[in-house]
A and B are shown apart, each in its own frame.
Chain A
């Protein structure tokens, strides 16, 4: 049968950000996918040439708004390791609280967008309504709703008093109740399952071979999560990666849904254990000559930073590998064999962030 090439993107109603997918279809069944990137590439890594290493914190926060806190945390942890800076315990706990809040708002945003992708508008609005509560916490504790900008090299820039911590925990109890209430609608609904179960299956072996990361990897049954490294205060908190076995769009949805609840639990533990003391160590001088890698689990998966210094205030090289960049090969593997109508749901199921990819 004759094949047809259908281009999707970079401007397309189902794609929130510019990526171009050249789909070869035979009678509406996809046989091949070739991606194009680079429509909004910013070359942020090269800004280390004219920013000192403190200013780069603000640069990496702008790699991606949705996971800005984790970008800055990953970068700061790398520099702190190079400089031998001992981050105060309180700062480590505060980093955990804000980073898990970030994961929650990212996942809630995605859950809404995912519902929107299969036309479930009211569910989309419900998830975004809940997300507003998390953004309100961001605003009340940091002054910003998305780019919270709390990290600095040596710790954090803002503190939380006991009342604020108590308020966050009580607010999250409400969030947990509301998220749970939406669970059956999202995960047990006949129509939702019809659009997601068995669509875009990624086996565990494929996921490993293709270097997949984050919920996309864990939905294929691989219990790998950078939080297992125990960075910040995570080593002192109970945490188990959320996994699912099916590897399809529904499993990826379920992993993110459960991770929202898991983040609430991590924040509750961190709130109970947050010690008193300083929130940032003093940092003087420049990173010594050398190089390091730093990794953090972002909402979409592992973010990888390579940092090289020549002992000067301006870094020699900063390289950022974002989770979506790692998940694109998996996306190309799961699309062939699907119907064209499945593309929006399956593309969205890996939670693509082109802003991150086009750093």
Chain B
């Protein structure tokens, strides 16, 4: 997988994505991986003729990430999912559920797939604070 991966910076993301689209790649998925208390890695997966390419973007928690939905509309559900589960906020998301794709009250404001920190605040805006393990085990919003 390493060989097919390209690390990109925030300002290169849309350009690299558009390049892949021109080359005929289709969108497959976005994977969020929490690296540490400050960082989440977003891996964008693409496919062309059964060959995969991956774009890696390292994101500081609390920083808004440009959405790739202007290039690949199909990514809107995947990005909303990352927004809900990891608290990473996207700008320019074609259909933005604002942290409510997965039920409103139970998960809103939490980032349940982050082990180290709660990333999003009650209103869905990036905040970055707290120990998620205790927050989630008690089932309370941050």
Contact = CB atoms under 8 A, between A and B. Distances in A.
Contact of B28 (A46, A229, A304, A328): A304
Interface stretch (B11-19, B57-65, B69-77, B116-124): B69-77
A37 B34 CA distance: 23
A329 B28 contact: no
Given A45-B113, A306-B43, A38 B101 contact: yes
Contacts of A161: none
A304 B46 CA distance: 11
A208 B49 CA distance: 12
Nearest to B4: A293
A209 B29 CA distance: 13
Contacts of B113: 43, 45-46
Interface of A is mostly: mixed
B95 interface: yes
A211 B103 contact: no
Interface string A219-234: 0000010101100000
B4 to A, nearest CB: 9
A291 B72 contact: no
A37 B28 contact: no
A43 B112 CA distance: 9
Contacts of B115: 49
B141 to A, nearest CB: 16
Contact of B31 (A38, A302, A319): A319
A293 B1 contact: yes
A306 B95 contact: no
A328 B101 CA distance: 13
B37 interface: no
Nearest to A333: B73
A37 B50 CA distance: 29
Given A211-B28, A306-B45, A321-B28, A38 B103 contact: yes
Nearest to A41: B102
Contacts of A34: 95
A326 interface: yes
A316 B102 CA distance: 23
Contacts of B78: 321, 325
B129 interface: no
B26 A211 contact: yes
A209 B1 contact: no
A326 B113 CA distance: 21
Q: Do most interface residues of chain B lie in helix, strand or loop, or is the interface mixed?
A: mixed
Residue from B2, B29, B97, B112 with most neighbouring chain A CB atoms (10 Å): B29
Given A34-B95, A306-B45, A209 B77 contact: no
B23 to A, nearest CB: 13
A3 to B, nearest CB: 18
Contact of B29 (A41, A208, A228, A304): A304
Contacts of A208: 26
A49 B113 CA distance: 10
A187 interface: no
Contacts of B84: 38
Contacts of A290: 1-2
A209 B102 contact: no
Contacts of A36: 97, 101
B52 to A, nearest CB: 6
Interface in B25-63: 26-29, 31-34, 43, 45, 50, 52, 54
Contact of A209 (B32, B54, B74): B74
A308 B33 contact: yes
A304 B50 contact: no
B75 to A, nearest CB: 8
A121 to B, nearest CB: 34
A38 B102 contact: yes
A321 B78 CA distance: 9
Interface string A189-216: 0000000000000000000111100000
Give the top 9 A-B pairs by smallest Cβ distance, nearest first: A38-B102, A211-B74, A321-B29, A319-B31, A211-B27, A329-B74, A38-B103, A41-B102, A210-B74
7 contacts: A37-B102, A39-B103, A209-B26, A229-B50, A321-B45, A326-B74, A329-B77
Interface of A: 34, 36-39, 41, 43, 45-46, 49, 208-211, 224, 226, 228-229, 290-293, 302, 304, 306, 308, 316-317, 319, 321, 325-326, 328-329
Interface of B: 1-2, 26-29, 31-34, 43, 45, 50, 52, 54, 72-78, 84, 95, 97, 101-103, 107, 112-113, 115
